[in-house]
């Protein structure tokens, strides 16, 4: 039985969670544990191949979120099979194929169709997740996504990163916020579940502006949200900037506080897929908290309980 915590719309909360949790959404929707299998589709990005830029976003090193299963044969079939073999050991029986690295709608539609349908052509694949930029969704791609949404469960992830154009310019995104709004609204028209990605801790924003971002996100017709804290990763433009002129980043206790308050300003219908960044330690420069993921989640829940905070508390 799901706990309807404080607010009747705060549905996907169990085990004391003070916010809607993606894990419980998946369990209710598919009736079992569901694991994502990350797939490298071999795509690039318009901000790297010279179309819009060559250096990429200021913080981005795709190695920090590339599939953990490293294969010499990068076929979709081999990657999905390797994911099956790994996660079956953890008793997972249902899977979502997750195109994660780079911009996963940045290719000819024929190539995209082939890769997407290769990924969902497995009995135990119950859905497809596609991560992309809001400026890489043409009419033909929207048509393909609409078709996919009729074939399987589809979740499109959009890199919002910030609602402030000054921040998007600082991070070298090469698009504005209105481009993001239009992409999410179009996906919603097609009845496709949308996940937004945002970053807390950008040096271009005050903490009040970060909390104000929740108010803007509440206006968007998206179902899920991933929250990241700004990290400095090796071999990125940000690493060079940080080395020459260190950026003030969140320490652990600061992040728990701002994150808890941010969640409390979100409307309760939004389901949180992620609440912090989780980069490989061998690539991470700063901040290093020496905390494992379960510990961070437990500390977040404790902070929210101790301070009587919960998702939607300050939503008006």
Residue 10 binned pLDDT confidence (cut-offs 50, 70, 90): confident
pLDDT of 69 over the 60 cut = no
User: What local confidence, expressed as pLDDT, does residue 71 receive?
Assistant: 56
Q: Enumerate residues 6+ apart whose C-beta is below 8 A from 157.
A: 129, 130, 131, 132, 194, 195, 196, 197, 226
Phi, psi of 97 (to 5 degrees): -80, 125
pLDDT of 48 over the 70 cut = yes
Domain ranges of the chain: 22-306
User: What local confidence, expressed as pLDDT, does residue 284 receive?
Assistant: 96
User: What local confidence, expressed as pLDDT, does residue 1 receive?
Assistant: 32
Mean pLDDT, rounded, of the chain: 92
User: What local confidence, expressed as pLDDT, does residue 192 receive?
Assistant: 98
Residue 2 binned pLDDT confidence (cut-offs 50, 70, 90): very low
129-162 pLDDT tens trace:
999 999 999 999 999 999 999 999 999 999 999 9
Beta strand 232-233 pairing with 284-286 = antiparallel
| 8 Å CB contact between 305 and 46 | no
> Nearest 5 degrees, angle CA 95-CA 96-CA 97?
115
pLDDT of 66 over the 70 cut = no
188-240 pLDDT tens trace:
999 999 999 999 999 999 999 999 999 999 999 999 999 999 999 999 999 99
pLDDT of 36 over the 70 cut = yes
pLDDT of 304 over the 80 cut = yes
Q: Which CATH superfamily is domain 22-306 in?
A: Aldolase class I (3.20.20.70)
Q: What is the pTM of this model?
A: 0.94
pLDDT of 13 over the 60 cut = yes
User: What local confidence, expressed as pLDDT, does residue 12 receive?
Assistant: 81
Residue 68 binned pLDDT confidence (cut-offs 50, 70, 90): low
78-96 pLDDT tens trace:
999 999 989 988 888 899 9
User: What local confidence, expressed as pLDDT, does residue 9 receive?
Assistant: 63
pLDDT of 6 over the 90 cut = no
**Cα–Cα distance between 35 and 46 in angstroms, integer?**
30
**Cα–Cα distance between 263 and 238 in angstroms, integer?**
27
**Cα–Cα distance between 292 and 276 in angstroms, integer?**
11
């Amino acid at each position: 039985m799901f706990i309807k915590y404080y607010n009747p719309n705060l549905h996907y909360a169990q085990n004391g969670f003070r916010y809607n949790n993606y894990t419980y959404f998946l369990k209710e929707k598919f009736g079992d544990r569901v694991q994502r299998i990350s797939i490298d589709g071999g795509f690039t990005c318009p901000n790297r191949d010279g179309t819009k830029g060559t250096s990429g976003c200021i913080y981005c090193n795709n190695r920090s979120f590339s599939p953990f299963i490293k294969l010499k044969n990068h076929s979709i079939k081999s990657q999905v099979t390797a994911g099956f073999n790994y996660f079956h050991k953890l008793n997972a029986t249902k899977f979502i194929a997750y195109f994660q690295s780079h911009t996963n709608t940045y290719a000819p539609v024929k190539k995209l169709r082939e890769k997407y349908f290769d990924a969902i052509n497995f009995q135990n694949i119950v859905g497809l997740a596609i991560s992309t930029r809001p400026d890489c969704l043409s009419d033909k791609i929207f048509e393909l996504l609409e078709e996919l949404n009729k074939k399987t469960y589809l979740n499109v992830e959009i890199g919002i990163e910030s609602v402030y154009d000054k921040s998007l310019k600082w991070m070298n995104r090469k698009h504005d916020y209105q481009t993001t709004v239009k992409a999410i609204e179009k996906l919603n028209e097609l009845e496709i579940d949308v996940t937004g990605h945002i970053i807390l801790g950008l040096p271009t924003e005050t903490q009040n502006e970060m909390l104000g971002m929740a108010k803007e996100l509440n206006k968007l017709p998206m179902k899920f949200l991933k929250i990241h804290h700004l990290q400095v990763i090796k071999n990125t433009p940000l690493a060079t900037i940080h080395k020459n002129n260190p950026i003030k980043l969140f320490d652990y206790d600061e992040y728990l506080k701002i994150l808890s308050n941010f969640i409390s300003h979100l409307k309760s219908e939004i389901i949180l897929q992620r609440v912090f960044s989780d980069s490989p330690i061998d690539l991470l420069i700063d901040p290093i908290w020496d905390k494992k993921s379960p510990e961070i989640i437990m500390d977040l829940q404790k902070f929210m309980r101790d301070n009587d905070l919960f998702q939607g508390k300050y939503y008006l």
